[in-house]
Chain A
């Protein structure tokens, strides 16, 4: 077990280094031209460009540049005030990227937790109903709805939902976008987030339902299910204790990764549509101005988070399911 954890953590660090190097390649090497001038933004002063070139090491070999980039990304997370060139800074308004991301985290976290609860719950309900009623009209209806769900562009759905539920009616039932802090009033917090939660969850409900349905149908044909039936166990108990439990394993893996992805910025479209000022929204705002450091920061921190989370999921998993542990 200890060897497994050590190997998984070592693998995680290797991936982290690879991920950060890829980010470096994307943002520093690929665009070409002088990176210092790009970093300095629009209408830079000459000394600004010279400073950036020196501090980022753009006149040095690529590995020095990479190490400096990572230093700045790391210093940015530390609290306290930092010099102008010590951290990743937006070149639109010179704010510390790490701080802006930290500010967005509660919003993204609220969105992810609510949406994840909804999609997990409804995904399981939908999957179980579809599997139990396989071949009947309700199964067909659910499969169709699942297909529609994965075919809907989430941002369009968000705009349409916002328009018909909050902007068009004279007395709208729901507030129109924006975020209300949980610490101020949990009820208002949930009330403001209900629409984004459901819009984001719709994407996953259908998908999870389909995966669970096919898993359950596979498990139903297993020998141990036949045994359970043969020994006279109630059909309901067979379904919940034997079939559902064993079908949920892939769902749990899927859920861990999807949840991490949403936290790591995959909810960028939902956040943008509902004007929730989370991490994804922050990256999206910077796309229009081609303000690279924020996008770079969000990509870096997002990928780090996902890598870290998937290692965590694997380790927790190995505790739960001994089959996964390598010999």
Chain B
């Protein structure tokens, strides 16, 4: 007679874990998993490093100006000279040269001092511009302005867009209709054209409405203009995500528990879209820096003599043949910055949402 098989026992999870050579089971948050994926993407991490290095370099502009270049971003030295390897060299040679004997002016070809790297003791490392200003100092200060506008407008744009998207996507109805039509309205304009329109309209007297007062030359003008224009480009996709998320059970559960709309929006919906928001934020900084450059190039962004990478390129274009570095250097800075952000943003997207990267079966 066989024993009846009634002694069927279930091992507890703890007993099973103990059997497996005492390996503790560790819960891993999605953030940790994303970080683990990102950690292996050396190209993306390297790009982040490059971008941080550029930000630090531009933030140190005042120190560079004072202790290495010994000149400010707007100080002109057109009639001075600088010691290069023990020899005096004029910063700007040629032009109209006065001859005191004959009391006449002679026009000679203008040559602007080119990049000296370290030969002039840190001065004019990247050459001078047409007014004898130190290009390296202007490049760093310009970068500071460009980055401040790029990051600042990305912050404003993302905050407003996410807020509107949550509001529209969660509440639906009239709110959704109103927000979506507002997005459509901005979407109807070509990006740069609307930016120029707003930028130049605000450059006349600045902005003095609703108790807010911004003067015409302020950096706030390009920052706000750019953030307004790109709001629909961030808001639309996030609204779509929120729309599909609010149909899910966990939202119903939260509402059933009596959670208010604020709580559902910011504690249930927001954590579910935050990875998309992060990716958009990275990529929108890159877009904003490019838009700012285009705007300043056309003269509707940062106003001279305040430097930015865009208007440095614009003013360098006038001396393109005699001093090509004035266009090449700020342009390269712009390309490297934007490229590093784009590569990092791409890596971040792959790390945060591995499903978005479609895998092919072969």
Other-chain contact of B313, A23, A159, A217, A268 (Cβ < 8 Å): A159
Query: A residues within 8 A CB of B204?
Result: 31, 33, 38, 290, 292
Query: B residues within 8 A CB of A283?
Result: 193, 196
Of A71-79, A120-128, A194-202, A295-303, which stretch is located at the interface? A295-303
Assess A151 versus B338: contact at CB under 8 Å? Given A22-B185, A156-B331, A159-B317: yes
The reply to whether B334 and A268 contact each other, CB–CB distance below 8 Å, is no
Is the C-beta of A13 less than 8 angstroms from some C-beta in chain B? no
The reply to whether A303 and B188 contact each other, CB–CB distance below 8 Å, is yes
Query: B residues within 8 A CB of A265?
Result: 190, 192-193
The docked-state distance in angstroms from the alpha carbon of A257 to that of B207 is 32
What 1/0 mask marks residues of chain A from 199 to 218 whose CB sits below 8 Å from any chain B CB?
Answer: 00000000000000010011
Is the C-beta of A315 less than 8 angstroms from some C-beta in chain B? no
The reply to whether A167 and B298 contact each other, CB–CB distance below 8 Å, is no
Query: A residues within 8 A CB of B205?
Result: 31-33
The docked-state distance in angstroms from the alpha carbon of A152 to that of B290 is 8
Other-chain contact of B294, A214, A269, A295 (Cβ < 8 Å): A269
The docked-state distance in angstroms from the alpha carbon of A126 to that of B172 is 40
Query: B residues within 8 A CB of A154?
Result: 294
The reply to whether A266 and B192 contact each other, CB–CB distance below 8 Å, is yes
CB interface residues, B 297-335, toward A, < 8 Å: 297-300, 310, 313, 317, 320-321, 324, 327-328, 331, 334-335
Is the C-beta of A147 less than 8 angstroms from some C-beta in chain B? yes
Assess A152 versus B299: contact at CB under 8 Å? Given A26-B197, A159-B313, A266-B190: no
Other-chain contact of B335, A152, A218, A286, A288 (Cβ < 8 Å): A152
**By DSSP majority rule, is chain A's interface helix, strand, loop, or mixed?**
helix
The reply to whether B192 and A30 contact each other, CB–CB distance below 8 Å, is no
Task: Output the least CB separation between A228 and chain B (Å).
Answer: 15
Is the C-beta of A221 less than 8 angstroms from some C-beta in chain B? yes
Other-chain contact of B185, A15, A38, A151, A284 (Cβ < 8 Å): A15
Query: A residues within 8 A CB of B197?
Result: 23, 26-27, 295-296, 299
Query: A residues within 8 A CB of B201?
Result: 26-27, 30-31, 292, 295
What 1/0 mask marks residues of chain B from 172 to 213 whose CB sits below 8 Å from any chain A CB?
Answer: 000000000100110011111110111111111101110000
Of B86-94, B250-258, B259-267, B339-347, which stretch is located at the interface? B339-347
Is the C-beta of A249 less than 8 angstroms from some C-beta in chain B? no
Is the C-beta of B20 less than 8 angstroms from some C-beta in chain A? no
Query: A residues within 8 A CB of B79?
Result: none
Interface centre among B201, B208, B328, B361 (most CB of A within 10 A): B201
Query: A residues within 8 A CB of B1?
Result: none
What 1/0 mask marks residues of chain A from 3 to 23 whose CB sits below 8 Å from any chain B CB?
Answer: 000000000000100110011
The docked-state distance in angstroms from the alpha carbon of A288 to that of B199 is 11
Is the C-beta of B358 less than 8 angstroms from some C-beta in chain A? yes
Query: B residues within 8 A CB of A22?
Result: 185
The reply to whether A287 and B299 contact each other, CB–CB distance below 8 Å, is yes
Considering the complex, give the chain B residue whose CB is closest to the CB of A213: B358
**By DSSP majority rule, is chain B's interface helix, strand, loop, or mixed?**
helix
Task: Output the least CB separation between B180 and chain A (Å).
Answer: 12
The docked-state distance in angstroms from the alpha carbon of A272 to that of B295 is 12
Is the C-beta of B286 less than 8 angstroms from some C-beta in chain A? yes
The reply to whether A148 and B185 contact each other, CB–CB distance below 8 Å, is no
The docked-state distance in angstroms from the alpha carbon of A217 to that of B361 is 10
The docked-state distance in angstroms from the alpha carbon of A59 to that of B300 is 29
Is the C-beta of A254 less than 8 angstroms from some C-beta in chain B? no
Task: Output the least CB separation between B345 and chain A (Å).
Answer: 10
What 1/0 mask marks residues of chain A from 27 to 48 whose CB sits below 8 Å from any chain B CB?
Answer: 1001111000010000000000
Considering the complex, give the chain A residue whose CB is closest to the CB of B47: A147
Query: A residues within 8 A CB of B361?
Result: 221
The docked-state distance in angstroms from the alpha carbon of A26 to that of B291 is 19
The docked-state distance in angstroms from the alpha carbon of A42 to that of B285 is 38
The reply to whether B358 and A153 contact each other, CB–CB distance below 8 Å, is no
Query: A residues within 8 A CB of B193?
Result: 264-266, 268, 280, 283, 298-299, 302-303
Is the C-beta of A163 less than 8 angstroms from some C-beta in chain B? yes
Considering the complex, give the chain B residue whose CB is closest to the CB of A307: B188
The reply to whether B190 and A153 contact each other, CB–CB distance below 8 Å, is no
The reply to whether B324 and A163 contact each other, CB–CB distance below 8 Å, is yes
The docked-state distance in angstroms from the alpha carbon of A286 to that of B200 is 9
The docked-state distance in angstroms from the alpha carbon of A299 to that of B327 is 29
Considering the complex, give the chain B residue whose CB is closest to the CB of A220: B360
Is the C-beta of A160 less than 8 angstroms from some C-beta in chain B? yes
What 1/0 mask marks residues of chain A from 272 to 287 whose CB sits below 8 Å from any chain B CB?
Answer: 1000000010011011
Question: Mind listing 9 A-B residue pairs with CB under 8 Å?
Answer: A18-B185, A30-B201, A31-B205, A32-B208, A217-B358, A268-B190, A268-B193, A268-B196, A296-B197
The 3 closest A-B pairs by CB, nearest first: A156-B331, A266-B190, A151-B339
Further pairs besides A147-B346, A167-B320, A266-B192: 16, Cβ < 8 Å: A31-B202, A134-B360, A153-B297, A153-B338, A155-B294, A155-B297, A156-B331, A163-B321, A217-B358, A261-B190, A266-B193, A290-B203, A295-B196, A295-B200, A295-B201, A310-B188
